[in-house]
């Protein structure tokens, strides 16, 4: 298919689905693998709906964030868009090009960086690695040299330009990995958890570079996945919240936070009910959560035990202030004592909790397994 110059979208998906089949030993919920007999406990096939009817449009020039817990489907979406995986059904276009019928043309115009992986050759120096990638992309030598120097400086790698990659610390290898994504100056750059595990300063450098790249090179688009709220909030023009393969919300960070404008948020720290022994602590936390969920005006509760001091952190969303007294009374009735109480301004984390019903760091419990 020829490139469409009409589309204002860098990325467009319609009812995009991707299903994986996982074969595992032991008990499963779904289909028995042919050949195994009922009751034998043989291998079972499990269907995992990693992407579930995803409709998404990303405008040219946007930094667009996909925010979701582990297993939500973020990497799968990037792999489909970057033509590394075929969709099971639905449509996906990058720069107007269909990823299924026109994969080569898509690949010529996109770049992919996976923060968790380090690509490159240990035997080559930092500069040689970038040079190699520039030549694989067919960048004219002069242009490549200038760009590589720029990237070495922007990512704090200048000092190490002649050091073999194998001699670099993990953090510097990751910088090199992300810098590599910019060498070909792609029209669309997919960054899968670009700052995963990096220290705060390096993560900030990378975010600053992404911003600058998009603002100084018109027509460039970034789709990044993250489960760092701050990253999504600071860097992204728009954010799609993804959970179990589904997009549950998509808007600017500010508009997403406005979703909570009418709600009252409370963060509390309490003691555990005194009767709870070591082995019963988790049960006691869940009981407290259940009791509070039943209070008038309470829309959402999330409770977590703090291993450091055995206290309980509670996050509550209330319909209005009138529910606060009931919440405090309910905590006291369980024998718990309130140690701290805050009424904070909403963050993207709160939005996520409201939309998805659990915290981002609680994971996905297996995306859309059936
Ligand atoms: N090759 C595969 N085979 C079977 N299941 C897979 C495969 N790749 C991904 N999955 C499953 O699909 C779901 C979505 O995975 P995906 O890696 O896209 O999530 P994610 O949001 O990127 O999570 P993470 O942040 O942990 O990388 C998960 O349940 C995962 O176990």
Query: pLDDT tens digit string along 342-363?
Result: 887 777 887 888 788 777 776 5
CA 244 – ligand 1 centroid, Å: 10
Q: Is the ipTM of this complex over 0.95?
A: yes
364 band by pLDDT with thresholds 50, 70 and 90: low
Q: How far is CA 93 from CA 8, 13, 100, 166, 197, in A?
A: 12, 6, 9, 38, 31
Instruction: State how far the Cα of 219 lies from the Cα of 112, in Å rounded to an integer.
Output: 17
| Global model pTM greater than 0.90 | no
Structure tokens at 359: 């915290």
CA distance 295 to 169: 52
Query: Over the stretch 271-295, which tens digit does the pLDDT of each residue have?
Result: 987 655 666 778 888 888 889 988 8
For ligand 1, the distance from its centroid to the CA atom of residue 245, given in whole angstroms, is: 9
Per the document, the length of the chain is 370
Cα torsion through 293, 296, 299, 304, rounded to 10: -30
With a pLDDT cut of 90, the percent of the chain lying above it is: 48
Among candidate residues 210, 271, 173, 180, the one with its CA nearest the CA of residue 65: 210
Query: Across residues 4-12, what is the average pLDDT?
Result: 74
Q: What is the atom index within ligand 1 of the atom nearest the CA of 116?
A: 27
CA of 365 to the centre of ligand 1 (A): 11
The alpha-helical segments, DSSP class H, found in 45-157 are 74-81, 103-109, 126-136, 141-154
pLDDT of residue 71: 87
- Which atom of ligand 1 is the closest one to the Cα of 193? 25
Q: For position 35, what pLDDT does the model report?
A: 47
Q: Which range has the worst mean pLDDT, 43-57, 196-210, 249-263?
A: 249-263
CA of 73, closest atom in ligand 1:
18
Q: Higher-confidence residue: 163 or 309?
A: 163
Tally DSSP H helices, then E strands, for the chain: 11, 15
Q: Which of 76, 115, 364 to mutate to test the pocket of ligand 1 (most atoms within 8 A of CB)?
A: 76
pLDDT band, very low/low/confident/very high, at 31 (cuts 50, 70, 90): very low
Per-residue model confidence (pLDDT) at position 261: 66
| Pocket of ligand 1 from Cβ distances under 6 Å | 20, 22, 48, 50, 68, 70-76, 366-367
Task: Indicate which residue's Cα is closest to atom 18 of ligand 1.
Answer: 73
Q: How confident is the model at residue 34 (pLDDT cuts 50, 70, 90)?
A: very low
Cα 56 to ligand 1 centre (Å): 19
Please tell me whether residue 350 adopts helix, strand or coil conformation. Answer: helix
Cα dihedral across residues 236, 238, 243, 246: positive or negative: negative
Measured distance CA(280)–CA(292) in Å, rounded: 18
- The number of the ligand 1 atom at minimal distance from the alpha carbon of 368 is 29
φ, ψ dihedrals at 201, nearest 5° = -65, -45
Mutate-to-test residue for ligand 1 from 46, 47, 48, highest number of ligand atoms within 8 A of CB: 48
What are the C-alpha distances in Å from 200 to residues 110, 113, 196, 231, 324?
Answer: 27, 19, 10, 11, 36
Residue 23 DSSP SS3: strand
Average pLDDT of the chain to the nearest whole number: 85
Q: Give me the phi and psi of 36, to 5 degrees please.
A: -85, 140
The backbone torsions φ and ψ at residue 5, rounded to the nearest 5 degrees and listed phi first, read -95, -5
Q: Quick one: pLDDT band at residue 230, thresholds 50, 70, 90?
A: confident
Nearest CA to ligand 1 atom 5: 20
């Amino acid at each position: 298919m020829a490139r469409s110059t009409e589309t204002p979208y860098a990325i467009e998906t319609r009812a995009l689905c991707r299903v994986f089949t996982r074969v595992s030993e032991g008990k499963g919920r779904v289909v028995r693998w042919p050949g195994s007999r009922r009751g034998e406990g043989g291998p079972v096939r499990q269907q995992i709906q990693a992407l579930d009817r995803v409709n998404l449009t990303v405008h040219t020039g946007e930094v667009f964030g996909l925010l979701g817990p582990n297993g939500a489907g973020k990497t799968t979406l990037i792999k489909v868009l970057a033509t590394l995986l075929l969709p099971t059904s639905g449509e996906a276009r990058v720069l107007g090009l269909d990823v299924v019928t026109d994969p080569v043309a898509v690949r010529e115009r996109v770049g992919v960086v996976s923060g968790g992986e380090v690509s490159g050759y240990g035997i080559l120096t930092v500069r040689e690695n970038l040079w190699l990638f520039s030549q694989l992309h067919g960048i004219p030598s002069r242009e490549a040299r200038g760009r590589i120097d720029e990237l070495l400086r922007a990512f704090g790698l200048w000092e190490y330009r002649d050091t073999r990659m194998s001699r670099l610390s993990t953090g510097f290898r990751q910088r090199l990995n992300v810098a590599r994504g910019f060498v070909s100056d792609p029209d669309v750059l997919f960054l899968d958890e670009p700052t995963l595990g990096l220290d705060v300063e390096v993560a900030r450098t990378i975010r600053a570079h992404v911003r600058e790249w998009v603002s100084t090179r018109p027509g460039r688009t970034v789709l990044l996945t993250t489960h760092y709220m701050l990253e999504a909030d600071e860097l992204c023009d728009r954010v799609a919240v993804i959970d179990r393969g589904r997009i549950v919300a998509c808007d600017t960070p500010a508009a997403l936070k406005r979703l909570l404008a009418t709600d009252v948020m409370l963060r509390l720290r309490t003691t555990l009910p005194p009767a709870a022994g070591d082995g019963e602590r988790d049960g006691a936390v869940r009981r407290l959560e259940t009791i509070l969920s039943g209070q008038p005006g309470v829309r959402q509760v999330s409770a977590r035990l703090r291993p450091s001091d055995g206290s309980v952190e509670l996050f509550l969303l209330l319909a209005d202030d009138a529910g606060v007294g009931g919440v405090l009374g309910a905590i006291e009735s369980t024998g718990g004592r309130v140690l701290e109480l805050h009424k904070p301004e909403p963050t993207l984390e709160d939005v996520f909790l409201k939309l998805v019903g659990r915290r981002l760091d609680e994971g996905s419990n297996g995306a859309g397994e059936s």
